[in-house]
Structure 1
């Protein structure tokens, strides 16, 4: 009977000690599986009241946007096609003063990078940033990464909500 409490304590203390050692030594993975960059500060947007949208893809296009920044709106149109079956779950936002047939236009957020794409949750929290590249081919690769991240998030949301909406 005296072995049971000792075994119980060992089962509790050894994992805690191992976790403490890992955190203390700085032995943590340097890479992540996401393609975008997490923001360092919390930024919220006023997203349209669309209950059926799980995520939003936002393009920041302020009034003083340069030519490279304006080229990003062409990629926004391509996103509509690339979303495929996920189009019903994802809303598109244009941050700024532009016009769009495929995206809802909301006021710009000055703290966000011009021409960058962002993944935004349904509550308006900006989660991931995808900075524009000078080369259009690099921008297409960037958008493939955005779509890959978005599909992971949609899959996670579907599994955590009990199999669908």
Structure 2
């Protein structure tokens, strides 16, 4: 014998409510995420502190030279990032302060510090003595032509170069070295 259970409208309503709540548990967070993304909101800890260059500027075709004239070679296999600084001629005390700040940024990377170099294109201030990650470089007009927002007087700006020789970030003159440190720390992890 085949008996059918009696229809219970209360139970059916309760089951439908549970199904709707279950679907909302999965769909609602997705809808909130899409709305936040469309509005342009980004969490503070994921935002870059420097200006991201879109598109990145390729530098691999440039023949960069150390201050002694030897060729500088990018080594993508070493996953080494570079901070490039092209100081203006009248830099003075601002360059000394920047060297001190860059040395602290480098030291604060801890065990990852060896994956970071500072390329200094121009006359190196005296404060750089003992800063082993600083590489004095020859001024290169072709490089200067590709650098957006290059400072011509006052405080120098800095640029972040990825291991594959692409200029990816710019830090305007007078930037906070803590911003550079935060970005570099994220990239070296």
- Give the TM bin, normalised by the shorter chain: 0.5 to 0.7
For the residues of structure 2 that align with 1:39 and 1:66, how far apart are their CA atoms? 25
Match of residue 67 from structure 1:
90
Q: State yes or no: 1:91 paired with 2:105.
A: no
- How far apart are residue 125 of structure 1 and its match? 0.9
1:59-106, Cα deviation, whole Å (9 max, x unpaired): 123xxx3535x55532442245311134311011124xx134622415
- Structure 1 residues 116, 40: closer, same or farther in 2, change over 3 A? same
**Map 1:52-131 → 2, pairs under 5 A:** 52-61=78-87, 65-68=88-91, 71-79=93-101, 81-82=103-104, 83-84=106-107, 85=110, 86-95=112-121, 98-100=122-124, 102-105=134-137, 107=140, 108-112=143-147, 113-114=149-150, 115-131=156-172
Match of residue 74 from structure 2:
49
For the residues of structure 2 that align with 1:145 and 1:36, how far apart are their CA atoms? 7
Question: Is the Cα–Cα contact under 8 Å of residues 83 and 118 in structure 2 kept in the other structure?
Answer: yes
Consecutive unaligned residues of structure 2, counting only runs of 5 or more, are 1-26, 61-71, 129-133, 151-155
State TM-score, norm by structure 2.
0.53
- How far apart are residue 17 of structure 1 and its match? 8.2
State TM-score, norm by structure 1.
0.59
For the residues of structure 1 that align with 2:181 and 2:37, how far apart are their CA atoms? 32
For the residues of structure 2 that align with 1:76 and 1:27, how far apart are their CA atoms? 33
Runs of at least 4 residues of structure 1 off by over 6 A? Answer: 13-24
> 1:34 pairs with 44, 48, 54, which one?
48
Consecutive unaligned residues of structure 1, counting only runs of 5 or more, are 1-12, 134-138, 158-165
